[in-house]
Amino acid sequence: MGAFVFYDRDLSWLSFNERVLLEADKIQVPLMERIRFLSIYSSNLDEFYRVRMPAILALERIQKETFIYQQASDIITRQLNSFGKILTGALIPALRECGVHLVYNEYLPLQLVPAINEYFYHHVAAFIQPVLLEGKVDFFPENNQLYVAAVVQQTSGIESIYIINIPVSNISRFLKFEVTEISYIIFLEDVVKQCLKFLFPGKTIDGAYNVKITRDAELDLLDEYEGDLAEKMEKQLTRRDAGLATRFLYEPGIPLRHLQKIIKTFSLHEASIVEGGSHHNLKDLAQLPISMPEMNYPAWPSIHSPVLGIVNTLFEKISQQDVLINVPYHSYDTVLRFFNEAAIDERVTEIYTTLYRVASDSRIGFALISAAKNGKKVSVVVELKARFDEANNIRWAKRMKAAGVRIIYSINALKVHAKIALIKRNGTEQPYLGLLATGNLNESTARFYTDHILLTAYQPMLLEMNKLFGFLSKRKKPGEEDKLHFKHLLVAQFNLLQRFTALIDREIRHAAEGISASITIKLNNLEEERLISKLYEASNAGVRIQLIVRGICRLVPGVAGQSEHISVIRIIDRYLEHGRVFIFHNNGSPEVYLGSADWMNRNIYRRIEVCFPVYSEDVRKQLISLIDLQLNDSIQAVRINNEQNNEKVPADDRNIRSQEAIYKMLAAL
Nearest to 453 by CA among 577, 359, 553, 594: 594
Does the active-site annotation cover 585? no
| Beta bridge mates, 215 | 245
Task: Tell me the C-alpha distance between 159 and 254, whole Å.
Answer: 14
**C-alpha dihedral (300, 301, 305, 309), degrees to nearest 10:** -130
Read off the pLDDT of residues 645-660 as tens digits, 9 standing for 90 and up.
999 998 787 899 999 9
Nearest to 412 by CA among 382, 385, 389: 385
| Confidence grade of residue 228 (pLDDT, cut at 50, 70, 90) | low
Nearest to 609 by CA among 479, 481, 437: 437
User: What average pLDDT does the segment 564-593 reach?
Assistant: 98
Instruction: Tell me: pLDDT of 248 over 80.
Output: yes
Enter the pTM of the model: 0.93
Read off the pLDDT of residues 152-171 as tens digits, 9 standing for 90 and up.
998 777 899 999 999 999 99
pLDDT of res. 310: 65
- Domains of the chain are 1-95 (1.20.58.310), 99-288 (3.30.1840.10), 306-484 (3.30.870.10), 491-668 (3.30.870.10)
| Confidence grade of residue 242 (pLDDT, cut at 50, 70, 90) | low
The 8-class DSSP code of residue 141 comes to: P
Stronger pLDDT, 98 or 386, i.e. the higher one: 98
Read off the pLDDT of residues 505-532 as tens digits, 9 standing for 90 and up.
999 999 999 999 999 999 999 999 999 9
Stronger pLDDT, 479 or 624, i.e. the higher one: 624
Catalytic residue among 101, 417, 452, 578: 417
Helices 658-668 and 617-631 pack at an angle, to 10 degrees, of 150
**DSSP-derived pairing of the beta strands 182-187 and 174-179:** antiparallel
Read off the pLDDT of residues 396-427 as tens digits, 9 standing for 90 and up.
999 999 999 999 998 877 899 999 999 999 99
| Confidence grade of residue 483 (pLDDT, cut at 50, 70, 90) | confident
Determine contact, residues 656/634, Cβ cutoff 8 Å: yes
DSSP structure string for 473-530? HTT----GGG----SS-EETTTTHHHHHHHHHHHHHHHHHTT---EEEEEES-B--HH
Read off the pLDDT of residues 263-294 as tens digits, 9 standing for 90 and up.
999 999 989 999 999 999 999 999 999 999 99
- Strand blocks (E) in 103-203: 131-132, 147-153, 159-165, 174-179, 182-187
Task: Tell me the C-alpha distance between 307 and 42, whole Å.
Answer: 41
Instruction: Tell me: pLDDT of 60 over 50.
Output: yes
Task: Tell me the C-alpha distance between 61 and 4, whole Å.
Answer: 26
One-letter amino acid at 437 equals A
| Confidence grade of residue 63 (pLDDT, cut at 50, 70, 90) | confident
Determine contact, residues 362/469, Cβ cutoff 8 Å: no
DSSP structure string for 523-554? ES-B--HHHHHHHHHHHHTT-EEEEEESS-B-
DSSP structure string for 35-83? HHHHHHHHHHHHHHHHHHHHHHHHHHHH-TT--HHHHHHHHHHHHHHHH
pLDDT of res. 61: 76
Read off the pLDDT of residues 303-354 as tens digits, 9 standing for 90 and up.
998 777 767 899 999 999 999 999 999 999 999 999 999 999 999 999 999 9
pLDDT of res. 285: 97
Ordered alpha helix ranges (H), 288-357: 314-320, 333-344
User: What average pLDDT does the segment 163-190 reach?
Assistant: 96
88-97, 99-108, 129-138, 214-223: least confident range: 214-223
Q: How many CB atoms lie within 10 A of CB 134?
A: 12
Read off the pLDDT of residues 444-460 as tens digits, 9 standing for 90 and up.
999 999 999 999 999 99
**DSSP-derived pairing of the beta strands 566-571 and 432-437:** unpaired
pLDDT of res. 286: 96
With a pLDDT cut of 90, the percent of the chain lying above it is: 83
41-45, 215-219, 468-472: least confident range: 215-219
- Strand blocks (E) in 279-318: none
User: What average pLDDT does the segment 61-86 reach?
Assistant: 89
pLDDT of res. 665: 97
